[in-house]
Amino acid sequence: MPELPEVETTRRGIEPHLVGRRVTAVTLRRPDLRWPIPREIVELLPGQRIEAVERRAKYLLLHTPAGSALLHLGMSGMLRVLPPDVPASPHDHVDIALARGAHAGPRVLRFTDPRRFGCLLWQAPGTTHELLARLGPEPLTDAFDGDLLWHLSRSRTAAVKLFLMDNAIVVGVGNIYASEALFAAGIDPRREAGSVSRARYARLAAEVKRILAHAIERGGTTLRDFLAPDGAPGYFFRELMVYGRAGEPCKVCGTTIRQVALGQRSTFWCPRCQR
């Protein structure tokens, strides 16, 4: 599943082509993705000018005066900005047609989703969609730090990796980056969240910020399905320290990287570097 850096890479890729442009039409080639596509997408979005493209957690919002289109890429979704005459493929489910821009002709924002785990929903003006209502802070903001993690983790017996991946604690720290941040902070992902000290949480929060920011600049991890909006893969996957490296030597100490399932998600760690 695309993680926060992949989604932020997508946002940065499509934003210059969308902001300020008017939506001229919406074409739905099927009535649903993960959930039914609401009628507002077809009835209210055409004719509106896109004012901003925002990311909240792993969701993208196309803001207009009439409301916001809310998108999630699911497990294999991709957004591309294309000339309107590019033929649609079988998994190209939605086209949002855009009027001519100041320096370019008409374009289409195409939503491709082979597995159909993504979504296209609607958020009315002045409201917060229920999918966004109970989310924690963004990890790259000042609202997220080690003190927050320490306070929220008291008496928690869940593994610290699962705690870090809880979107009510902090959004967007998915499986790949949780494994990488815990390695960088030297914390065993199986350790109880409530047993991690304040100082170690300070380091963990700093590593989350550093790794996510670096991954965004590198274009994300690009495991399996994800491609950036320009069709090019990201490069951060080449720099992973532990994720997906079970049985290989640790790049720091040479100890064999181990793998275990936590919360039904593959977890990787170095038993020497992480305590």
- For residue 80, say whether it is annotated as part of any ligand binding site: no
Instruction: State the residue for tokens 């932020």.
Output: 8
Is residue 31 annotated as a catalytic residue, yes or no?
A: no
Which of the following is catalytic: 2, 139, 189, 229? 2
- For residue 91, say whether it is annotated as part of any ligand binding site: yes
Is residue 265 annotated as a catalytic residue, yes or no?
A: yes
The candidate with the shortest Cα–Cα distance to 139, out of 109, 180, 105, is 180
Which of the following is catalytic: 22, 191, 218, 265? 265
Residue 110: φ, ψ to 5°: -105, 130
Which of the following is catalytic: 3, 15, 180, 207? 3
Is residue 58 annotated as a catalytic residue, yes or no?
A: yes
Distances (CA, A) of 240 to 88, 159, 206, 250, 268: 35, 21, 17, 11, 11
Helices (H), the chain: 4-18, 40-43, 146-153, 160-164, 175-185, 198-218
Cβ 76 vs Cβ 124: under 8 Å: no
Is residue 248 annotated as a catalytic residue, yes or no?
A: no
Which of the following is catalytic: 21, 55, 58, 110? 58
- Residues forming the annotated binding site for DNA? 91, 115, 156
Positions annotated as catalytic residues are 2-3, 58, 265
- Residues forming the annotated binding site? 91, 115, 156
